[in-house]
Amino acid sequence: MVQVTYVAHDGAETTIDATEGDSVMQAAVANDVDGIVGECGGAMMCATCHCYVDEAWAERTGPRDEGEDDMLEGAASEITERSRLSCQIKLTAELDGLVVHLPEEQL
Protein backbone atom coordinates (compact mmCIF):
# COMPACT_ATOMS: atom_id res chain seq x y z
CA MET A 1 0.00 0.00 0.00
CA VAL A 2 1.02 3.57 -0.70
CA GLN A 3 -0.21 6.38 1.53
CA VAL A 4 -1.46 9.52 -0.22
CA THR A 5 -2.71 12.72 1.41
CA TYR A 6 -5.13 14.93 -0.51
CA VAL A 7 -5.33 18.50 0.78
CA ALA A 8 -8.57 20.24 -0.17
CA HIS A 9 -8.65 23.90 -1.16
CA ASP A 10 -9.95 24.73 2.35
CA GLY A 11 -7.03 22.89 3.98
CA ALA A 12 -8.93 19.75 5.01
CA GLU A 13 -6.77 16.65 4.62
CA THR A 14 -7.81 13.15 3.58
CA THR A 15 -5.19 10.42 3.85
CA ILE A 16 -5.78 7.06 2.20
CA ASP A 17 -3.93 3.80 1.68
CA ALA A 18 -3.81 3.22 -2.08
CA THR A 19 -2.76 0.29 -4.19
CA GLU A 20 0.68 0.48 -5.75
CA GLY A 21 0.32 0.83 -9.53
CA ASP A 22 -2.93 2.80 -9.34
CA SER A 23 -2.90 6.46 -10.30
CA VAL A 24 -3.45 9.27 -7.81
CA MET A 25 -6.80 9.84 -9.55
CA GLN A 26 -7.88 6.18 -9.35
CA ALA A 27 -7.06 6.09 -5.65
CA ALA A 28 -9.05 9.27 -5.01
CA VAL A 29 -12.12 8.10 -6.93
CA ALA A 30 -12.04 4.65 -5.31
CA ASN A 31 -11.94 6.28 -1.87
CA ASP A 32 -14.54 9.01 -2.53
CA VAL A 33 -12.08 11.87 -2.12
CA ASP A 34 -13.89 15.14 -2.82
CA GLY A 35 -12.13 17.36 -5.33
CA ILE A 36 -11.06 14.74 -7.89
CA VAL A 37 -13.69 14.01 -10.54
CA GLY A 38 -11.84 11.99 -13.16
CA GLU A 39 -14.57 12.33 -15.79
CA CYS A 40 -12.60 10.54 -18.52
CA GLY A 41 -11.56 7.67 -16.25
CA GLY A 42 -7.86 8.38 -16.63
CA ALA A 43 -7.61 8.56 -20.42
CA MET A 44 -6.04 12.04 -20.29
CA MET A 45 -9.01 13.47 -22.17
CA CYS A 46 -10.13 16.05 -19.60
CA ALA A 47 -8.67 18.06 -16.74
CA THR A 48 -11.09 17.09 -13.96
CA CYS A 49 -8.35 15.36 -11.98
CA HIS A 50 -6.09 18.44 -11.86
CA CYS A 51 -3.96 18.62 -8.72
CA TYR A 52 -0.94 20.47 -7.42
CA VAL A 53 1.89 18.21 -6.31
CA ASP A 54 3.25 19.35 -2.96
CA GLU A 55 6.58 21.12 -3.39
CA ALA A 56 8.39 18.46 -1.33
CA TRP A 57 7.22 15.77 -3.78
CA ALA A 58 7.47 17.59 -7.12
CA GLU A 59 10.79 16.07 -8.20
CA ARG A 60 9.78 12.53 -7.19
CA THR A 61 6.61 12.59 -9.29
CA GLY A 62 8.60 13.69 -12.31
CA PRO A 63 7.71 16.09 -15.11
CA ARG A 64 4.37 16.30 -16.84
CA ASP A 65 3.78 13.57 -19.40
CA GLU A 66 3.44 14.48 -23.05
CA GLY A 67 -0.01 15.90 -23.59
CA GLU A 68 -0.63 16.98 -20.01
CA ASP A 69 0.06 20.63 -20.81
CA ASP A 70 -2.58 20.57 -23.54
CA MET A 71 -5.20 19.06 -21.24
CA LEU A 72 -4.32 21.39 -18.35
CA GLU A 73 -5.15 24.36 -20.57
CA GLY A 74 -8.79 23.36 -20.05
CA ALA A 75 -8.55 23.17 -16.26
CA ALA A 76 -11.04 25.24 -14.28
CA SER A 77 -8.46 26.48 -11.76
CA GLU A 78 -5.10 28.24 -12.03
CA ILE A 79 -2.25 26.25 -13.57
CA THR A 80 1.13 26.40 -11.82
CA GLU A 81 4.49 24.70 -12.34
CA ARG A 82 3.33 22.00 -9.89
CA SER A 83 0.04 21.34 -11.73
CA ARG A 84 -0.44 17.75 -12.86
CA LEU A 85 -3.23 15.52 -14.05
CA SER A 86 -3.52 13.07 -11.17
CA CYS A 87 -4.42 10.29 -13.64
CA GLN A 88 -0.86 10.50 -14.94
CA ILE A 89 0.88 10.00 -11.57
CA LYS A 90 1.32 6.27 -10.96
CA LEU A 91 1.78 5.28 -7.35
CA THR A 92 4.99 3.47 -6.47
CA ALA A 93 6.68 2.58 -3.19
CA GLU A 94 8.89 5.65 -3.71
CA LEU A 95 5.77 7.85 -3.55
CA ASP A 96 4.59 6.49 -0.18
CA GLY A 97 3.51 9.57 1.79
CA LEU A 98 2.77 11.67 -1.32
CA VAL A 99 0.89 14.93 -0.71
CA VAL A 100 -1.21 16.58 -3.41
CA HIS A 101 -3.26 19.75 -3.12
CA LEU A 102 -6.62 20.06 -4.82
CA PRO A 103 -7.80 23.11 -6.74
CA GLU A 104 -10.82 25.17 -5.78
CA GLU A 105 -12.87 23.69 -8.61
CA GLN A 106 -12.56 21.04 -11.32
CA LEU A 107 -15.39 21.68 -13.78
Check pLDDT > 90 for residue 90.
Answer: yes
At 44, is the pLDDT very low, low, confident or very high (cuts 50, 70, 90)?
very high
Mean pLDDT of the 83-101 span: 98
| pLDDT value of position 31 | 97
Whether 66 has a pLDDT exceeding 90, the answer reads no
Q: Is residue 8 part of a domain?
A: yes
How many C-beta atoms surround the C-beta of residue 79 within 10 A?
15
**What integer is the mean pLDDT of 40-67?**
95
Domain that holds residue 36: 2-101
Q: Using the predicted structure, report yes or no on whether residue 22 has a pLDDT greater than 90.
A: yes
Look at residue 27 in the predicted model and tell me its pLDDT: 98
The greatest distance separating any two alpha carbons of the chain, rounded to the nearest whole angstrom, comes to 32
- Average pLDDT, integer, range 48-66: 95
Q: 37 lies in a domain? A: yes
pLDDT score recorded for residue 65: 85
Q: Does any domain span residue 106?
A: no
Q: How many domains does the chain have?
A: 1
- 107 within some domain: no
Residue 32's domain is classified under what CATH number? 3.10.20.30
Q: How many CB atoms lie within 10 A of CB 73?
A: 9
Angle at 1 between CA 97 and CA 7, to 5 degrees: 35
**Distances in Å between the alpha carbon of 74 and those of 20, 30, 97, 98, 106?**
29, 24, 29, 25, 10
